[in-house]
Amino acid sequence: MGSIATPLHAHPLEDSAVVYYDSGRFEEAAAFYDRLLAEEPQNPWLLYNRGNCAYKLGRIGEAIRYFLAAYRIRPLNEDIRHNLEMALARAPDEIPLPEPFFVFRWLGIIGSLLPIRTWWILALGTGAIAMTLMGIYAFGFQEVWRRWGFYGSLVAAGLSVLFFLPAFVHGQQLKQPLTVVVVPECEVSSEPSTTAPKLFVLHEGAVAHLRDSTASYFLIMIDSRRQGWVKRENVEIL
Amino acid sequence: MKITSINFTLTSLLFFAWVASSYLHIARAQEIRAEVSRNPVAVGEVFRITYKSNVQFEDFRMPRLSDFSIVGGPYQSFSQTFINGRLSMSMSISYDLIPQKKGKYIVGAATARYEGRTITSNTLEIEVVEGQVPAPRAPGREPETRQQVASDNQDIFIQAFTSKSSVYPGEPFVLTVKLFTRLQTELKDVIMPRLKGAYIQEIPDAADRQFRVEVHNGQRYYVAVLRKLVVVAQKPGTLNLGKAGAEVKYQIVERTGDFWQDFFSGGRLRIFEKNLESAPIIIHVKDFPTQGKPASFTGACGVFEMHNIVEPSRIQTGDAVKFRLRLSGQGNLPLAELPRLQLPPSFEVFEPKTTDKVAASEAGLSGYRETELIAIPRSPGEFKIVIPEFSWFDYKAEKYRIHPVEEITLTVEGAQLAGGGTSVISPGKKEVGILQDDIRYLKRQAFGNYAGDKDSSTPAWGWLLLPWAATVGLFLVRPTVRRLRQEAEAAPRGRRSTRRAMDLLRQAEKALAEGQSERFYELCARAVYQFLHDRFRLPLHSTDRSMIRQALSNDPEKGEGFVQVLDECEAARYAPTDATARLDLLVKCRTLIEHSA
């Protein structure tokens, strides 16, 4: 990705989105990208482009929501990281992005290098090989077969675990629900009701973990000290 | 008579006046004068109270000083002088005190005895304030030439010394910051003056934080040199270099007033932490004299020499020639602006490189500043290179010096080179500045160009457990399988075990028909051995008859029959029998095998 290609080979909707974007009509471009995202919701480049539209429209919260979604899928992409940092720099609240423990972070990055399904096939295949070799070890008539079966099964089993772990961690990270504030300012209450005491105020672009939800409220958490209920319409989930 | 009477009266009055004045004089002389070293004083700050008198008193008694701690004294001094037949004496007793709390305090009168009478001192009112007390300005006193600052605290203070009180712009002087103390002191940190408006260079290894004994204003102090710098003022006027400071920790042993406690423990130890600060360091910077100022003067100030070097003076076109202008001596070398050479247009000129080798010392700044310019002539010829006039102010002689215009002849030989005719100054590289930050552009062909997961669903991880579950299952059934296998191996082979033996017997029959008697016996024996091996797992060709009998222990007749057959086969090899016996042996073998299967 990243190369400049003629739009002739792109999807017609994407051609239209690019034309609108280049002419400064970001609202229309965003609408086209939304239609494309409906078909490929996990496509990081579409998320990135949609984030660009939101950024150009001055909707920092929305831009962070899309850039962050793209970043979670492709954490090593320099362009996505740059645009996310740019958007975060414009967010009024000084809230660090939720980052996992470094071991899980690196496992997640490794997991992002291949589609999760590919990792899954690799893990399953090597697991099957390990099982076969273990069978040879268990029931082989000749000693040399049994020996090779034993060591081979160990190697295959190790590979199976190595293929499984990054993919699993990356998958879990993608599933972890986050919220982004998309309104200029919103209050966070101690209970999911309008009469509850207000705990703190968040501004557009603030990112938080989603812990729970009711019909009209989300329970969000920034850290152990700062958590509370916010109205659904004030945040977007990724 | 009247006159005599008046004279007497006057004489009497004069006598009484003299007696009275003498008495008053004595009365004044017998007073004790109480003085304090400074007032007001800060909390925790040491000050001195002194009782002076011009008589030698005794049995001196201090007033009650409950609001102050006595940290030193009594220091007693006595002196007497005899001048022009007149004897005069003075006596003083001093104490060093530290105030405990903020407020105004009255120190009562001290008493002493002189010639059997009690004499008293005046009382003192002392104001104690929080924080630091500004140093009192001595009226009409000019600052000392080389001592800028005198701290108000007599026992621990900082002083900054400058080697000159008045300088020209660019004239280096030495600034020394010293800590003076008479207390047990630990130096924690040094805060330097801001030194704005001046160029500074530290004198290497000049700072010495080891305390050494020095006498200052007649007092012995432990002195540490905190910093020693060479400072160069850059413009005329009053240069305020700010304040030097230090963070120190010192301890004081207080007299508690309890004789026994003071006697045994030497008093009470108190530790203070304080930020000491000198007064602003101010230097008067004179302007350069306007008279005789050359047009080429750019602010170089010092005792200099100028050298211009061209290497080589005769070159080929395309070769590099170096021009070096070196200013050496003492002065503001790092700030001196050396003249720029103007070269003919046929020279390709590179950016000049300036090198400073300047060392700071007690004498100021000395060394040299050199500009090296490299040029490549493209055209042959004889060129006159003009080195412009350079001038500086000699601050020692207080006059301007001029290095006149110099002309150097450079001979360039060889052929004209391409690219000649223009003088190219290669610009120095600059960092690319960022005007404005923005997000990166769109990703083209994004749709369908992603081989990753199309949606957020994750595969069924549980399938990965299948191989592991199968492996575990394998190991669970493994003992059963092995047992079955062993049982199968251990079980008699049945009719199938006779197949190979019967084949061998058919071969033996064929050999019998062909008259090959030796082969016949051999095949018969092999058939028996093969049968026993296949049926009872006995080793092939084993000659151990006991194994055969044991294997057929449940039917000893047959066992014995097999042994007999084998014995006959072996015996017949050495003593062949007739055809009928051979046929009987064959039938016997076949019968035994068939009935034993």
What is the ipTM for the molecules in this complex?
A: 0.74
**Partners of residue B437 in chain A, C-beta under 8 Å:** 86
Instruction: Band the pLDDT of B133: cuts 50, 70, 90.
Output: low
In angstroms, the Cα distances linking B100 to A133, B130, B152 are 88, 10, 18
Closest CA to A112 of A179, A166, A34, A50: A166
Q: Whole-angstrom Cα distance, residue B230 to residue B583?
A: 133
Closest-CA residue to A183 (of A219, A134, A233, A146)? A233
The mean pLDDT value for B178-199 works out to 76
Contact A46 B447 (CB under 8 A): yes
Residues of A in contact with B438 (CB under 8 A): 86
Residues of A in contact with B455 (CB under 8 A): 41-42
Residues of B in contact with A161 (CB under 8 A): none
Q: Which residue of B has its CA nearest to A176?
A: B456
* B148 within a domain of the structure (yes/no): no
Looking at B110, B129, B148, the residue that finishes a domain is: B129
Q: Which residues in chain B have Cβ-Cβ distances shorter than 8 Å to A116?
A: 452-453, 458-459
B438, B441, B444 ranked by CB distance to A10: nearest: B444
Q: How many Cα atoms occupy the beta-carbon half-sphere of B170 within 13 Å?
A: 24
Considering only CB atoms, B464 lies closest to which of A1, A41, A164, namely A164
* Residue B456 confidence (pLDDT): 60
Q: Token match 């296949």: residue?
A: B534
For B153-177, what is the mean pLDDT? Answer: 84
User: With an 8 Å Cβ cutoff, is B215 touching chain A?
Assistant: no
- Which of B437, B439, B454 is nearest residue A40 as measured by Cβ atoms? B454
Q: Chain B partners of A18 at a C-beta cutoff of 8 Å?
A: 442, 444
Rounded to the nearest angstrom, the minimum Cα separation between B463 and chain A is 7
Sorting pLDDT into bands at 50, 70 and 90, what band is B257? low
Q: Do B481 and A139 touch (CB under 8 A)?
A: yes
Strand B219-233 relative to strand B198-202: parallel, antiparallel, unpaired?
antiparallel
pLDDT band per the 50, 70, 90 thresholds, residue B137: very low
Q: Taking CB atoms and an 8 Å cutoff, what residues of chain A touch B479?
A: none
* Alpha carbons B119 and B32: distance in angstroms, whole number: 7
- Other beta carbons within 10 angstroms of residue B22's beta carbon come to 10
Does one domain contain both B63 and B173? no
Out of B442, B455, B464, closest to residue A41 by CB = B455
In a domain, B292, yes or no: no
In this structure, the answer to whether residues B73 and B191 fall within a common structural domain is no
Residue B361 lies in a domain: yes
* In the predicted structure, residue B324 carries a pLDDT above the cut 80: yes
In a domain, B379, yes or no: yes
pLDDT digits (tens, 9 = 90+) for A94-121: 888 878 888 898 999 998 888 888 898 9
Task: Tell me, yes or no, if B446 comes closer than 8 A to chain A by beta carbon.
Answer: yes
Q: Which residues of B touch A130 (CB under 8 A)?
A: 467, 471
Which tens digits make up the pLDDT trace of A35-63?
Answer: 999 988 889 999 999 999 999 999 999 99
Interchain contact, B456 vs A174, CB within 8 Å: yes
Q: How many domains does chain B have?
A: 4
What pLDDT is recorded for position B26?
A: 41
Same domain, B101 and B186: no
CB atoms within 10 A of CB B185: 22
Are residues B171 and B200 located together in one domain of the fold?
yes
Q: What CATH number should be reported for the domain holding residue B388? A: 2.60.40.680
CB–CB of A48 and B449 under 8 A? no
Q: Which residue has the higher pLDDT, B509 or B17?
A: B509
Determine the residue among A13, A35, A49, A62 to mutate to test chain B binding: the one whose Cβ has the most chain B Cβ atoms within 10 Å: A49
User: Cβ–Cβ of B446/A45 closer than 8 Å?
Assistant: yes
φ, ψ at B477 (rounded to 5°): -85, -10
Side chain identity at A209, as an amino acid letter? Answer: H
pLDDT band at A10 (very low <50, low <70, confident <90, very high): low
Contact A73 B454 (CB under 8 A): no
B147 vs B175: CA distance, rounded Å = 10
Q: Is residue B343 part of a domain?
A: yes
- The answer to whether position B142 is within a domain reads no
pLDDT 10s digits, B1-37: 344 444 545 455 545 444 444 444 444 444 788 888 8
Average pLDDT score over residue span B549-565: 86
A-chain residue closest to B470, CA distance:
A131
Q: Give the residue from B112, B129, B146 where a domain finishes.
A: B129
Q: Looking at the partner chain, which of B443, B467, B471 has a beta carbon nearest the beta carbon of A2?
A: B443
Q: How far does the CA of residue A185 sit from the closest CA of chain B (Å)?
A: 24
Q: Do B445 and A52 touch (CB under 8 A)?
A: no
Q: Is B452 on the interface with A (CB under 8 A)?
A: yes
* Same domain membership, residue B319 and residue B203: no
Secondary element (H or E) of residue B298? strand B297-311
* Residue B550 confidence class, pLDDT cut points 50, 70, 90: confident
- In the three-class reduction of DSSP (H, G, I as helix; E, B as strand; rest coil), residue B345 is classed as coil
A209-218, B209-218, B297-306 — most confident range: A209-218
For B471, the closest of A18, A52, A131 (CB atoms) is: A131
Report pLDDT for A61.
Answer: 93
Tell whether B456 is covered by a domain.
Answer: no
Could you say which of A11, A138, A171 has the minimum Cβ distance to residue B448?
A11
Of B376, B391, B413, the domain-final residue: B413
Both B276 and B306 in a single domain? no
Q: Same structural domain for residues B263 and B321?
A: no
Q: Do A86 and B437 touch (CB under 8 A)?
A: yes
Per the structure, the complete domain to which residue B270 belongs is given by 156-285
Residues B180 and B279 in one domain: yes
Average pLDDT, chain A: 88
Q: Between chains, do A45 and B443 touch, taking CB under 8 Å as contact?
A: yes
Q: Is the pLDDT of residue B158 over 70?
A: yes
- Asked if B466 lies within 8 A of A139 by C-beta distance, the reply is no
Q: Do A130 and B475 touch (CB under 8 A)?
A: no
Torsion over CA: B524, B529, B535, B536 (sign): positive
Question: What would the DSSP string read from start to end of B246-297?
Answer: EEEEEEEEEB-S-HHHHHHH-SEEEEEEEEEEPPP-EEEEPPPPSTT--TTE
Which residues from chain B sit within 8 angstroms of residue A165, using beta carbons? none
Mutate to test the interface with A, among B463, B466, B471 (most CBs of A within 10 A): B471
Q: Which of A5, A21, A131 sits opposite B470 (nearest CB)?
A: A131
Q: Give B-chain residues touching A135 at CB under 8 angstroms.
A: 471, 474
**Among B339, B241, B260, CA closest to B295:** B339
Closest residue in chain B to residue A165, using alpha carbons only: B461
Q: Assess whether pLDDT exceeds 90 at residue B263.
A: no
The per-residue pLDDT for B28 is 45
CATH label of the domain that carries residue B207: 2.60.40
Tell me the angle at which helices B579-596 and B517-536 cross, rounded to the nearest 10 degrees: 10
Record: contact A138-B441, CB cut-off 8 A: no
B441 lies within 8 A of chain A by CB:
yes
Name the residue among B437, B456, B478 with its Cβ closest to that of A41. B456
* Pick from B101, B125, B98, B121: nearest CA to B111: B121
Does residue B458 belong to the interface with chain A, where contact is any CB pair within 8 Å?
Answer: yes
Same domain, B94 and B212: no
Q: Do A128 and B444 touch (CB under 8 A)?
A: no
Mean pLDDT of A185-194: 90
Q: Is the pLDDT of residue A4 over 50?
A: no
In chain B, what percentage of residues exceed pLDDT 90? Answer: 1
**Angstroms from A233 CA to nearest CA on chain B:** 23
Lowest-confidence pick of A124-133, A166-175, B263-272, B317-326:
B263-272
Q: Does B445 touch chain A (CB under 8 A)?
A: yes
Q: Which helix (H) or strand (E) holds B305?
A: strand B297-311
Nearest residue of A to residue B446 by CA position? A45
Q: Are residues B164 and B256 in the same domain?
A: yes
Residue B123 in contact with residue B51, Cβ under 8 Å?
A: no
Residue A69 has pLDDT above 90, yes or no: yes
Same domain, B308 and B343: yes
Q: In angstroms, what separates the C-alpha of B459 from chain A's closest C-alpha?
A: 6
CATH number of the domain that residue B92 is part of? 2.60.40.740
Q: How far is B280 from chain A (nearest CA, A)?
A: 42
Residue B483 at interface with chain A, using a CB cutoff of 8 Å: no
Amino acid found at B277: E
CA A16/CA B443 separation, integer angstroms: 14
Mean pLDDT of B174-184: 84
Q: Tell if the CB–CB gap between A1 and B453 is shorter than 8 Å.
A: no
**Residue B279 shares a structural domain with residue B170:** yes
* For residues B126-147, average pLDDT: 51
Residue contacts between A and B (CB atoms, under 8 Å): 132
